[in-house]
Amino acid sequence: MALIEEFDKSGNWLFRWRSFLPIVLYFMAALVVVSGADDHLPHFDLNWALICLGVALLGQVIRAITIGYTPKGTSGRNTKEGQVAEVLNTKGIYSVVRHPLYLGNYFMWLGIIIYVGNWWFTLVCSLMFWLYYERIMFAEEYFLRKKFGQTYLDWSAKVPSFWPAWFQWKSSGVEFSMKNVMKREYNGFFAIFLSFALVDALKNYIHFGFISWKELVSPFWHISLLIAFVIFIVLRSLKKYTKMLDAAGREFVEK
């Protein structure tokens, strides 16, 4: 098998199993905390917690901008049918970066990773993220190049793959759909706060021992997780039992 086909095959395989990457990161984070290597942040600090949360929510905002401005039928993919794209999306956030959703994913995880409190762990996880998603991005671009040919080549020559060139922004030509964002992103939004709370609980347990379930999670994350859970339940219920979050002409394949 030629190397280009091998990269394409492995990229598609990694995409199908991408949901297990967070489990690996959780396990690694637990090892760092249990071993006492979280020496840069052994105790809860509100200012640092807000910074880390801000980094994670930046990733959520990038994903929201992408999904909110993406019309139906543009480049995307799903796990059942493989690559799906009726039109190459080159406007909106796709005019400044080719893989905005993966950029959003990176910042969402980066906030949680740096909250663990070990800079070597942050560097290792960033390298793992790049190596993992580089193959996925290759597979997607291989498909788009075969389907759209010179149009894709012209676009990719001007637009960076991962770090945005914001000065190149071109209007997407469609209105922002908050409904589409709420319909697609409530799981990831809740996962951010749940992840922070789990890391915080593990830190408190390792450094202070188990006192009570109430005191295991710091009050800031306790309240934040509760609010995120209420939002999760409301949006999930609206999606499952009503059509309030349906947006005409919008259908985005989640990555």
- Does 186 map to a domain? yes
State if pTM tops 0.95.
Answer: no
Closest among 107, 117, 149, 93 to 37, alpha carbons compared: 117
- How confident is the model over 151-184, as pLDDT tens digits? 889 898 999 988 999 888 888 778 888 988 999 8
User: For 22-72, what is each residue's pLDDT tens digit?
Assistant: 788 888 888 888 887 776 666 778 999 999 999 999 999 999 999 888 776
Summary mean pLDDT of the chain:
84
Residue 246 inside a domain? The answer is no
Within a domain: 255: no
10 Å CB burial of residue 127 (0-12, 13-18, 19+) is exposed
For residue 83, what pLDDT band results from cuts at 50, 70 and 90? low
Question: pLDDT higher for 1 or 141?
Answer: 141
What integer pLDDT is reported at residue 250 of this predicted model? 59
Residue 250 lies in a domain: no
Q: Would you say residue 53 lies in a domain?
A: yes
Distance (Å, rounded) from C-alpha 190 to C-alpha 214?
20
In a domain, 251, yes or no: no
Domain assignment present for 195: yes
- Locate 44 and state its tokens: 């809860």
Residue 209 banded pLDDT, cuts 50, 70, 90: confident
What is the extent of the structural domain holding 78?
A: 3-241
pLDDT tens, position by position, 219-255? 999 999 999 999 999 999 999 899 888 776 655 545 6
**Count of structural domains, the chain:** 1
